[in-house]
Amino acid sequence: MNVIEVQGLHKSYADTKAVDGIDLTIAQGEIFALLGPNGAGKTTTVEILEGFRKADSGSISVLGFDPSQRGVQSRIWRNRIGIVLQSTADAGDLTVEETILHFAKYYSTPRDVDEVISSVGLDEKRSALIRTLSGGQRRRLDVALGIIGSPELLFLDEPTTGFDPEARRAFWSLIESLRKGGTTILLTTHYLDEAEALADRVAVITRGKILEVSTPTQLGGRATAKARVQWKSDGVMQEEMTDNPTEVVRRLSAQFPGEVPELQVLRPSLEDIYLSMIGEKK
């Protein structure tokens, strides 16, 4: 079952086409990453799906509901989604527990507050004031507020911006645990390693258009791209692009006694493919 279905989505601001005819489907239980440079249309697209902006035209279904509609059905629908914005400004003089308890009251069927605090790794900080939290701990609180309503669909906007590497890895584990619990996740991120580690599928968007939707390993023909074999000969780095790196390595092994100097076999990374698709050099 598709949680999100979008056809022919358009949104313009004056003469600027922010979203220019997007088609998109996201399946239940999927982690889907939306990738693109600043100004590509990511934020506008997500805000339309969240119901914060109204599209100029197109068909939009999020959990079977048009987010542009208002009224009783809209309130019921909002009980089914969770949103983690890139930055928030909640009361710094409340504790972690007080903040989550307060937000839980907005939902008809909230999750258990203690269970949510544990799931985001904030047990030791439950009595700490928000203003005393580190960046990583604050982001975990943001996620706690996003999942307290037991959402079927979770929107994550640049969730690990400003994280150190250890905090990012811990956050990835949290996202994986949410997916295992059945939550569908739409993620926007500038970190290509994050998309590769988490996403079942990715979409690359630029200038308001989606260039391709694929798995991280298949995007842009990555899986079948030529390999780059590099080695050093007479003090100079050499390289060869090939569809058969094993044969090149076999030839080099016969050429050099012992180890082939500084031998590397490289496939294009997701970042290489992404930058090539959006027309930027690494």
User: For the chain, what is the domain count?
Assistant: 2
Co-location of 262 and 149 in the same domain: no
Q: Note whether 191 and 197 are within 8 A (CB).
A: no
Q: Are 219 and 273 in contact (CB under 8 A)?
A: yes
Whether 164 has a pLDDT exceeding 80, the answer reads no
Do 23 and 38 lie in one domain? The reply is yes
Is 17 part of a structural domain of the chain? yes
Q: Measuring CA to CA, how many Å separate 127 from each of 114, 136, 143?
A: 12, 17, 17
pLDDT for 73-129, tens place per residue? 888 898 899 998 766 666 678 999 999 999 999 888 898 999 889 888 889 999 999
113-159 pLDDT, tens digit per residue, is 998 898 888 899 999 999 898 878 888 888 889 889 989 999 998 88
Same domain, 158 and 67: yes
Give 209-264 pLDDT, tens digit per residue. Answer: 999 999 999 998 888 888 899 999 988 999 999 989 999 999 999 989 889 999 99
pTM metric for this prediction = 0.84
Q: Are residues 113 and 250 in the same domain?
A: no
Q: In 92-101, which positions are buried (b, 16+ CB within 10 angstroms) versus exposed (e)?
A: eeeebbebbe
What is residue 121's predicted lDDT score, i.e. its pLDDT?
Answer: 83
Q: Which residue has the higher pLDDT, 181 or 203?
A: 203
114 in the same domain as 16: yes
- What are 16-62's pLDDT values in tens digits? 999 999 999 999 999 999 999 988 899 999 999 999 999 999 999 99
